[in-house]
Structure 1
Amino acid sequence: MSSTYIGESDFHFTTVDGKQFPHDGTRDSKEAAYARAESHDIHRRAAIEKKLGRSLTEDEYFAGQIKHLEDRDWMTQERDKQFQPVRKEPGRYDKMKADILKRIEERDVAKMDNLERQLWDIEQMEQRDVEQIAEQNSKAAHLKNPRVKAALKELNGLLDSMKWDESRPASEVVRVQNAIIQWECHDGDTAVAETMLRGVLDHEDQRNAALDAAKREQIAQIESTLASASAPAKVEINRQQSLKDQGHDLYEALSDAGLGFKHLDRVFNANQALEAGDSSQLEAMLDAYAVGDNQTLE
């Protein structure tokens, strides 16, 4: 996909990831803001495609994430769709008291004349306004709570890293999304929120530990393969003949076996040292490259 979508309003342009680029409404300002928005979108998409190793589809571009492998059964998917924050448990008698107060209020309203009912309606609207403001203030205060801010920062950062990770199944993404919803709820059950956060973080620790273990195993396998590939091959020669003849035969046998120059050069230097009166190098080469007197390759 190569096309770029830039949303436009009266005073800003918006990219598909929600970033806004303001302008003052003049032509030059709008052109500059649009250019910044377009550049941001192009570089963002290029970074994502580099990470994925492929181009984004149009659906992925507008969805803001890849389509993760679905690893949940149908019932689990339906449950996750219906997920709502777990609220704090009400007091033991709160519901009973609320029901009684509602019935008393209904009784009192039924006895009112027209003017009293109009006044009561106005007072109810005022009360709703007060409650709405209190609700907004409660939500704002909740999101400013240091513990809530820290938890949401951790969870949102993790979610961002998952959105374009094709190794992540749908269940992992939804687990984080539901934890975010729970933490954002100003009257949610904090114990449930903490449990969900701990579950997410524990899962990440286990996943990272498994990935590290797999990497270490892979490295060990590669090192083992390289070590075995570089280990000198054993050849059969007549170990009963003179040391000089053994050295000559060893060189020929290694050459016929197709060993590289490094191994042949070591034997050649050992043979040269033998000519000079030092037999230790060749004896070491024979032990390294040739089978023993009573051994065969089979």
Structure 2
Amino acid sequence: MVSEVNANPASDQGEPKIRATDVSVFYGEKRAIDNVSIDIHQEHVTAFIGPSGCGKSTFLRTLNRMNDTIGSARVEGLIELDGEDIYRSGMDVVQLRARVGMVFQKPNPFPKSIYENIAYGPKIHGLAQGKAELDAIVERSLHRAGLWDEVKDRLQDSGTALSGGQQQRLCIARAIAVDPEVILMDEPCSALDPIATARIEELIDDLRGRYAIVIVTHSMQQAARVSQRTAFFHLGHLVEYGHTSDIFTNPREKRTQDYITGRYG
């Protein structure tokens, strides 16, 4: 049953980076998420899977308070980042979103140069003392996103002129530039071709361990390739959470097995 979901698979040691306890999300009177508890650790990529409308993206957005931008949304329960309640009064939400960055389904570079896309965050957060430091942050971020060699000679070109896959890697570089601790990815490959998707998946693997990464994906194959922990959502409930290999080969819940084997979804 849902109440028996283990929020922390047995082999995960140490304190979680993010701990969600009895989290529910409402849009007006409609309950979209029902009492979800889950621990997310730094060393793993965690995938959220489930059919459309199951609540996985809604829950993802609670982790950096993106639901605050929706007037009818209300979050109940406790979400902690390194033990700190992110919904407490007085929480600096701008700073929270620098610590917990997000990459969206559709690439959304700013209508600025490639350089300014990366430099914008460090500038407003005061992370660079001068142009030399800013240049170093831009180069380092583009290197980490696997994009530097492709754009180093055209940093003043518009970010919107890049291909879709390059734009998505630019958005990942933009998130990295403010030195986050967590990166949330909401179906980051759904608008990309297979080659660009493979590049993003390689990038996720390269970034693993440096950041806690959570990815929402409709592709079970992608979840199996990139994640070490998988959470299966259905109708607003967290049905099952565990090692990715166990979820796909030996699920405990019938609903998980039915979804994995294509009986619904």
**TM-score range, shorter-chain basis?**
under 0.3
Q: Which has the higher contact order (CA 8 A, sep 6+)?
A: 2
TM-score normalized with structure 1 length: 0.20
Q: Which has the higher helix share?
A: 1
Task: Return the index of the structure with the highest Cα Rg.
Answer: 1
TM-score normalized with structure 2 length: 0.22
Q: Which has the higher strand share?
A: 2
